[in-house]
Amino acid sequence: MDHFPLNWDKLGQENRGKPKNDIFADAITRTQRPIVTGTSVIALKYKDGVMLAADMLASYGSLARFTDVKRLYPVGDFTVLGASGDISDFQYTKHLLDTVMVEEYYTNDGHVLRTQNIYEYLSRVMYNRRSQFNPLWNAYIVGGYNNDEKFLGYVDLLGTTYQSSTIATGFGAYLAQPILRKAVEGKEDTLTEAEAVEILDSCLRVLYYRDARSFNKFQRAKITAEGVEITGPYKVESQWGFAEGIRGYGP
Amino acid sequence: MTTRLEQPKGGFNFDNYQRNVFLEQKGITLPKMTKTGTTIVGLIYKDGVCLGADTRATAGPIVADKNCEKIHYLAPNIHCCGAGTAADTEYTTALISSQLELHRLTTGRKSRVATALIMLKQMLFRYQGHIGAALVLGGYDINGPCLYTIHPHGSTDKLPYVTMGSGSLAAMSVFESRWRKDLERQEAIDLVKDAIESGIFNDLGSGSNVDVTVIEKDKVDVYRNYAKPNERGQKEQSYKFNRGTTAILKESIKDLVIITEGIEEMDIS
């Protein structure tokens, strides 16, 4: 995927110079480009359940536009949706999920949509939109705890899905996933809550250092048998004196 | 007879440019360069510099060399890791290594890291990025331990810990979590090994083994294949065919050399 925003507008570049004679042109929906975006979301499974974390920034290109955005969204009592990518598409998705949850409530059979169901629904919506060349430009992490089962899944704008004990979207895939994999793989049932928080914090710190579209203001979601608990906003400590003694860039 | 160090000619040599354009028009595509995919790292610790690299060389999606050497010798006290186009890193470091040796003979002193740096960056800038060599240069000279990165276009950075290559983010995440000033030697080696392994397992362009080189004052330790986390599993049985598996139907022995008694004179009339 081309991460350079100015290269996304392929159609605009193709259409430059062509006269706009087609009156139906505006009615056709097209693959867009993300405008207001959120960066990485990271998640892991631990002893008591699942944890997700994300910063609270919505960028407008290179501008840090909104710093109070809640990218971790609870759906029902035992599921959390973490979103990265276009924020307007995320808001639409939130609305969609709310609608679905309410409609299920109408059936009045006592059944509430579980994490697995929400994940399945979302992945079908995403793949469907991709097949119409009008994607919801997001990468989602769905995390939850149902019937003593920990769930953690990923869905993105292409409809790609996978489940794993550690997941990271965006830059997190390059910077946080190596740390998460090393720390969690094999220990999903023994990691304590404190250890899980420490692992997530060290990942968030690395992301704050090396992702140019990140922000030092985070939220963390914990899903256990007790339900969903979202803490934040909080900061991580960072060290910037690593090159104090260094002058210049060469001889 | 006097000898003079030849100054390198300025500017980019465009001799082959026209030829390449002509060939491409004819439909002949450039051969795929062997790239080193790569994770290379360097860090400064209490007593010196520690460099690390993986050992996979790729040609597109294929692993061309499972155990190549990416840490190159520049001088007795200076080594250089190379990422990018394998031939470029190989020949660039060899050229500057040779220039440094001549320089040592002229000056009568140990080479300095800054000298290697300026030679490398001026050459790479002259070629405007066409020489795809991304280098991590480390050494211990009269001014102490020194670590630089050099990008293909010729820019340099002086830093206490660096990573380059496709696996640089995976390795940098390890460094950013665990690096601190004045590490001990073994701690530094362990951190470098972990960073390279992070690249090996999380980046598809890197793989196989970990090479480590430690440079201290007057002492260099080259640990080729310091860690081998990808050794091939042992085959369960021996699959060699026993003698006699293939039946011998006929045996015929011919002498190709005919031995005669005495010396025969060669006829040179």
Domain count, chain A: 1
How far A243 CA sits from the closest chain B CA (Å)? 7
How far A193 CA sits from the closest chain B CA (Å)? 19
Residue B261 lies in a domain: no
Residue B190 lies in a domain: yes
What's the pTM value of the predicted model, to 2 decimals?
Answer: 0.82
- Disruptive mutation site among A171, A203, A205, A206 for chain B (greatest number of B CBs within 10 Å): A206
- Name the range with the highest mean pLDDT among A19-23, B3-7, B110-114: B110-114
Q: How confident is the model at residue B157 (pLDDT cuts 50, 70, 90)?
A: very high
Q: Which is catalytic among the residues B2, B29, B36, B38?
A: B38
Q: CA B189, CA B184: separation in Å to the nearest integer? A: 9
The verdict on B72 touching A (C-beta cutoff 8 Å) is no
Which distant-in-sequence residues (6+ apart) come within 8 Å of B204 by Cβ? B37, B166
Per the model's pLDDT, the better-predicted residue between A86 and A2 turns out to be A86
Domain extent, residue A230, equals: 36-237
Residue A18 lies in a domain: no
Residue A243 lies in a domain: no
Q: Judging by beta carbons within 10 Å of its beta carbon (0-12, 13-18, 19+), is residue A187 exposed, middle or buried?
A: middle
pLDDT digits (tens, 9 = 90+) for A184-235: 989 999 999 999 999 999 999 999 999 999 999 999 999 999 999 999 899 9
Domain extent, residue B129, equals: 39-227
A168: domain CATH number is 3.60.20.10
Contacts of B49 in chain A (CB under 8 A): none
Residue B259 lies in a domain: no
What's B142-168 look like in SS3? CCEEEEEEECCCCCEEECCEEEECCCH
Q: How far is CA A33 from the centre of its chain?
A: 17
Cα nearest neighbour of B115 on chain A: A251
Q: CA A55, CA B145: separation in Å to the nearest integer? A: 38
The verdict on A183 touching B (C-beta cutoff 8 Å) is no
Per-residue pLDDT for A4 more than 80? no
B99: domain CATH number is 3.60.20.10
Binary contact (A251, B117; C-beta < 8 A):
yes
**ipTM exceeding the 0.90 mark:** no
What's chain A look like in SS3? CCCCHHHCCHHHHHHCCCCCCCCCHHHCCCCCCCCEEECCEEEEECCCCEEEEEECCEEECCEEEECCCCCEEEECCCEEEEEEEEHHHHHHHHHHHHHHHHHHHHCCCCCCCCHHHHHHHHHHHHHHHHHCCCCCCEEEEEEEEECCEEEEEEEECCCCEEECCEEECCCHHHHCHHHHHHHHCCCCCCCCHHHHHHHHHHHHHHHHHHCCCCCCCEEEEEEECCEEEEEEEECCCCCCCCCCCCCCCCC
Binary contact (A250, B148; C-beta < 8 A):
yes
pLDDT digits (tens, 9 = 90+) for A31-65: 789 999 999 999 999 999 999 999 999 999 999 99
- Determine which helix (DSSP H) or strand (DSSP E) holds B57, and give its type and residue range: strand B57-59
Give the catalytic positions of A in this structure: 31
Residue B252 lies in a domain: no
Domain count, chain B: 1
Residue B129 lies in a domain: yes
Contacts of A178 in chain B (CB under 8 A): 170, 173-174, 198, 201-202
- Disruptive mutation site among B44, B45, B173 for chain A (greatest number of A CBs within 10 Å): B173
